[in-house]
Amino acid sequence: MTHTQLIDNIGELTTNDPSLGAGIGGRISGAAVVIEDNRIAWVGPASQAPAADERFDAAGRALLPGWVDSHTHLVFAGDRTAEFEARMAGESYAAGGINVTVAATRAASDEALAANLDRLVTEARHGGTTTLETKTGYGLTVADEVRSAQIACQIVDAVTFLGAHVVPAEADPVDYLALVTGPMLDAVAPYVTAVDVFCEAGAFDRAASARVLEAAGARGLATRVHGNQLGHGPGVQLAVEHGALSVDHVGFLDDADVAALADSWRGGGHGTVATVLPACDLSTRMPLAPARQLLDAGVTVAIASNGNPGTSYTSSMAFCVATAVLQMRLTIQEAVHAATRGGAIALGMHEDGWLDPRGIAQPRVGVIAEGARADLHLLDAPAATHLAYRPGMPLTAAVWRAGTRIV
């Protein structure tokens, strides 16, 4: 027995489906949406909407797809307020604090890690996030990485293995690389869909990062790269060469990096998404990633929160979208698209029935179109533009995830 819900009297509907409406956001006014169980069953003019079991009156407010946050590090324990205060007093971020979180995470019980993750995911959902990726990477032993992945895969939509975050303080770099590309990866693989590496001076160099990506590819796992965060480096080129789903941070790019990313999208295949992390750029006082230049070059861009206790202790995608418009010069439609469909493309969740490496069919997210998972975000505003026009205001009025109202 199916259950249907009609949402009508929508002020502005962002579908992200250009066949349904105007611009990159596929915007429609005077629209209605019908949900059947956990999927979108119908989208179109309200005057033609089919009858449904229940009706929700959007009262002229804007409806968008739920945020797809494709880059977070939320399996952790502890707090780094002192490091943040030192940074605000002029110290620079150099990734040294990762080991502080590693120590706290190793010392925490499974229950404490799960409770903290649950708290942060609930916070994110209250801000309109309906799809969330998280990485491991604060365990850095086989047992701690495995339990991080096991806990995460019960709570979030996609888990990425980041054993190659940094070489832990007690380890030898050569031995650790062998562990992370061998026994640790094998132990974590059943719980994750992708593998990431922090390709940066002080973390993993080009050769070591390439070994991580090759080991992932050999096991049929998708790949991502943390690249060009703290300075110019080989991360972007490496990501494109290895067909990574995304390269994230991308703060320091030269023309060859932008061209390589743009080339990866020519010919209609799945290129490498450039994921920008505006809250992290602000919190670390780094230059904002050149999202405008990337979009103008034809690169698919995602916006994510990078929620973590060191460089970006927020899950507010609305804050990231406002920053992308106000500071990175994206249009509101581009920013909303990057924070919804862009994230879905970065996760490989933009098409129906994608079988992840474990053989599990993933839903299509980041769009409001027939067949997609019914993930919807109603704003307390007549238009999505208010996300940037009224930055910092609590504009989330209601959230549906897989057809269930959760906020």
Q: Tell me the binding residues.
A: 71, 73, 80, 138, 165, 226, 229, 306, 308, 310-311
User: Judged by CB under 6 A, which stretch of 96-104, 108-116, 252-260, 366-374 contacts ligand NIG?
Assistant: 96-104
Choosing from 25, 97, 251, 290, the residue that interacts with ligand NIG (CB under 6 A) is 97
Strands (E), 147-232: 158-164, 194-199, 222-227
User: Judged by CB under 6 A, which stretch of 90-98, 126-134, 206-214, 288-296 contacts ligand NIG?
Assistant: 90-98
Rounded to an integer, what distance in angstroms lies between the CA atom of residue 149 and that of residue 79? 21
Query: Which amino acid appears at position 151 of this protein?
Result: I
> What tokens appear for 115 in the block?
């409770």
Q: Work out whether 98 is an interface residue with ligand NIG (CB under 6 A).
A: yes
Cβ proximity to ligand NIG, 77 vs 379, nearer residue = 77
Q: Work out whether 226 is an interface residue with ligand NIG (CB under 6 A).
A: yes
Max CA separation in the chain (angstroms): 67
Q: Work out whether 308 is an interface residue with ligand NIG (CB under 6 A).
A: yes
Cβ proximity to ligand NIG, 306 vs 340, nearer residue = 306
Q: Work out whether 73 is an interface residue with ligand NIG (CB under 6 A).
A: yes
Q: Cα–Cα–Cα angle for 338, 344, 350, nearest 5°?
A: 120
User: Judged by CB under 6 A, which stretch of 103-111, 307-315, 361-369, 381-389 contacts ligand NIG?
Assistant: 307-315
- Does the CA dihedral 81-85-86-92 come out positive or negative? positive
Within 8 A by CB and 6+ apart from 247, the residues are 224, 225, 226, 227, 228, 235, 236, 239, 240, 261, 272, 273, 274, 275
- Output the CA–CA distances (angstroms, integers) from residue 200 to 6, 193, 228, 278, 381, in the order listed: 49, 23, 7, 19, 41
Strands 404-405 and 354-355: unpaired
Q: How far is the CB of 310 from ligand NIG (least distance, A)?
A: 2
Query: Which amino acid appears at position 150 of this protein?
Result: Q
Q: Which residues are annotated as a binding site for Zn(2+)?
A: 71, 73, 226, 306
Q: Which residues are annotated as a binding site for N-formimidoyl-L-glutamate?
A: 138, 308, 310
Build a one-symbol-per-residue string for 146-175: x at contacts with ligand NIG by CB under 6 A, - elsewhere: ------------------------------
Rounded to an integer, what distance in angstroms lies between the CA atom of residue 195 and that of residue 239? 12
Query: Which amino acid appears at position 157 of this protein?
Result: D
SS3 301: strand
Q: Shortest CA distance to 293 belongs to which of 336, 247, 329? A: 329
Cβ proximity to ligand NIG, 97 vs 342, nearer residue = 97
Q: How far is the CB of 137 from ligand NIG (least distance, A)?
A: 7
Cβ proximity to ligand NIG, 56 vs 198, nearer residue = 198
Q: Work out whether 101 is an interface residue with ligand NIG (CB under 6 A).
A: yes
Name the residue with the smallest CB distance to ligand NIG.
310
Choosing from 116, 129, 148, 229, the residue that interacts with ligand NIG (CB under 6 A) is 229
Site for ligand NIG in 1-40 (CB under 6 A): none
SS3 140: coil
> What tokens appear for 267 in the block?
């010919």
> What tokens appear for 261 in the block?
């990313």
Choosing from 180, 280, 330, 388, the residue that interacts with ligand NIG (CB under 6 A) is 280
Q: Which residue has the tokens 């406002």?
A: 322
Q: How far is the CB of 97 from ligand NIG (least distance, A)?
A: 5
Q: How many residues bind ligand NIG (CB under 6 A)?
A: 14
Where on the chain is the footprint of ligand NIG (CB under 6 A)? 73, 95, 97-98, 101, 198, 226, 229, 280, 306, 308-311
